[in-house]
Structure 1
Amino acid sequence: MKQLKDQVGFSHSFEITPKRIVSLVPSQTELLYDLGLEENIVGITKFCVHPYHLKSTKKTVGGTKKVNYDKIRELNPDIIICNKEENTQEIVEELKKICSVWVTDIFTIEDNFQMITDFGQIFNRRTEARKWNDKLTFALSGFKEFVKDIPVKKVAYFIWKNPYMVAGSGTFIDELLKLNHFQNQYASRERYPEIDLEKMDPDGSLDLALLSSEPFPFKAEDGYDIVKFTNSAQAILVDGEMFSWYGSRLLKAFDYFKYLHNSI
């Protein structure tokens, strides 16, 4: 019997390896696929778009904040994969009535390594998990070498419009901003605060307004509306998946970040 504890501290006992998986987190669906578990995935969310073909081969059970419990129950899962940020506590508690619910909580790159290791243990994919962590470790080292001499830039990372919301501290986005030598203008604010554009750049030191492609799909014209409230900041559209998805996506993110720095 496997005795494991998830990232919110809940203990799980697995007498046998879970075979039927429902994933309610897009980036973790991608990770499960990359660990060789495609055949075991039986249910996903409508936002699970990587790899794209899963949308036509797996049952969609709702979104991340609103799920169809009856559809999940009908799939007879052995385990449901959730995330503290993506899925509400209410959803997790209701899902526990169906089967084991494994909850991840990712703030740091180290948390990401731990999640991959955990999945390797849960699903008997230890070798695959170790290979992914080795690849990520190597890529992370290479990126740190790439970015070490790049000057720090002060940035605001926008995730929503009307109201305007940004990424603050205690988020995976903030962790990746630091890795990129981006000083988060809102690092003193928790999670995803609403902000007033007129107060965004009080000392005129903001360098970049990073406009994410998700969850709000910012366009170039949005950048003009934002940077007019700054001294001389530049607005840049960025791929939100690269800054907010964890798991195996991080490997592609390092290459994307190099491209981003070379284009600034």
Structure 2
Amino acid sequence: MISKDQMGREINITKPIERIVSLVPSQTELLVDLGLLDKIVGVTKFCVHPENIRKQKVIVGGTKKINYEKIKELHPDIILCNKEENTKEIVERLEKEYKVHVSSICSISETFVMIEQYGDLFKKKKEAVLLISKIKLEKEKFASFIKDIPLKKVAYFIWKNPWMVAGKGTFINYMLETAGFINVFGDKDRYPEILLKELNVFKDLDLIMLSSEPFPFTNKHIVELNNNTKTLLVDGEYFSWYGSRLVDAFSYFKTLHESCELKEE
């Protein structure tokens, strides 16, 4: 079977896939939810869902630095990567020896493409179709909830030292817009570094979000920001993880609006 990944690369699958190495946390979770837990042999140290996955499988490193020898010992039939999460160098080195699927996702529709590709690759078409249907249903219900709520302007921080925010061309920016927010840094590319004083330019800023990942912001960082704008710690997984995490994302966004008292009465 000749398959293609989201980079348009052809993958020649000559035998059933029984041994999978996943180098992307959100895709690891997706595999499990598609019923492929037993076929996963290697994961990253950041693959935290399901909770015990790292105890069951071999940890082959992180997403940017991996242990090639550990991967070699696992004899994978395929390795799953992502354009943003993993480096070009990692993909190029791995594909010399293994089948490598690379996802490229900046929207929910692209997420659906990946899920469909996994359904084909791993003989889980029925499960893939069902998962996509669940996500679409939750998205539709949220759209009904959000339609009468005024859009709010937000800044979404992902890092400090230096302070960095999410900008355009990212899945986070897409999810912010989908969740009913306007990203005030949405005109900047990717993940720009900013000075905190730049926040003062936005006189109508409604909310500052401090993500739980990749930097683990806490309440002390809210104090450190020293900004009068309402500031919240948010679960970054719902803004940056694609795949089956999207099933619960829209319920989280609804709760976020309600807890922020952003919903107009």
TM-score bucket (shorter structure): over 0.9
Structure 1 Cα separation of the partners of residues 153 and 53 of structure 2: 39
Give the secondary structure class of the aligned counterpart of 1:80: strand
Q: SS at the partner of 2:110?
A: helix
Q: Give the distance between the partners of 2:147 and 2:59, measured in 1 at CA.
A: 43
Partner of 1:155: 154
Aligned to 2:219: 220
Aligned to 2:236: 240
Equivalent of 1:250, from 243, 246, 249? 246
- Post-superposition shift, 1:14? 1.2
Tell me the amino acid that sits aligned with residue 38 of structure 2. E
SS in 1 for 2:154: strand
Which residues in structure 2 correspond to 1:158-237 (within 5 Å)?
158-228=157-227, 232-237=228-233
Q: Distance in 2 between matches of 1:213 and 1:226?
A: 16
RMSD: 1.0
Q: State the distance in 2 between where 1:180 and 1:35 align.
A: 25
Q: How many residues align structurally?
A: 260
Q: Between 8-17 and 144-153, report the one with greater CA deviation.
A: 8-17
Tell me the SS of whatever aligns to 1:200: helix
Residues in 2 aligned to 1:227 and 1:111: alpha-carbon distance in whole angstroms: 38
Query: Quick one: distance in 2 between partners of 1:66 and 1:24?
Result: 10
C-alpha distance in 1 between matches for 2:67 and 2:250: 35
Deviations 1:165-208 (A, max 9, x none): 00001111001100111100111111100001112231411111
Match of 2:193, SS state, is coil
Larger CA deviation: 216-225 vs 160-169: 216-225
Residue type matched to 2:135 in 1?
A: L
Q: 2:85 maps to what in 1?
A: 86
Q: Which amino acid aligns with 2:243?
A: G
TM-score (norm 2): 0.96
> Does structure 1 residue 19 correspond to structure 2 residue 14?
no
1:40 is matched with 39
Partner of 2:4: 5
1:227 CA drift (Å) = 4.7
The worse-fitting range, judged by mean Cα deviation, of 10-19 and 106-115 is: 10-19
Residues 136 and 250 of structure 1 are in contact (CA less than 8 Å); yes or no, is this contact kept in structure 2? yes
Confirm or deny that 1:129 pairs with 2:125. no
* Cα deviation, residue 19, structure 1: 1.3
The whole-number CA distance in structure 2 between the counterparts of 1:87 and 1:201 is 35
Q: Structure 1 length as normaliser, TM-score?
A: 0.96
Q: Which amino acid aligns with 1:99?
A: Y
Displaced runs of 4+ in structure 1, greater than 6 A?
Answer: none
| Structure 1 CA distance for aligned equivalents of residues 226 and 139 of structure 2 | 31
Distance across 1 between alignment mates of 2:87 and 2:9: 16
Q: Is the 8 A contact 2:179 2:250 kept in 1?
A: no
- Specify the SS of the correspondent of 2:200: coil
Deviation at 1:221, TM superposition (A): 2.4
Gaps of 5+ in 1: none
Output the amino acid matched with 2:189.
E
Instruction: Measure, in 1, the Cα distance between the counterparts of 2:60 and 2:155.
Output: 34
| Paired AA for residue 51 in structure 1 | P
Letter in 1 for 2:218: K
Question: Following the alignment from structure 1 to structure 2, what is the Cα–Cα distance between the partners of residues 201 and 79?
Answer: 48
Query: Residue deviations 1:7-42, cap 9 Å, x none?
Result: 111111212231110000000000000000001000
Aligned-residue offset at 1:148:
0.9
Over residues 105-125 of structure 1, what are the superposed CA-to-partner deviations in whole Å (9 max), with x where a residue is unaligned? 110010011111010000010
SS of 1:119's equivalent in the other structure is: helix
Q: Give the whole-Å Cα distance in 2 for the aligned partners of 1:253 and 1:227.
A: 29
Q: Which runs of 5+ in 2 are unaligned?
A: 261-265
Between the aligned partners of 2:243 and 2:231, the Cα distance in structure 1 is 28
Identity of aligned residues (%): 53
Give the C-alpha shift of residue 97 in structure 1: 2.1
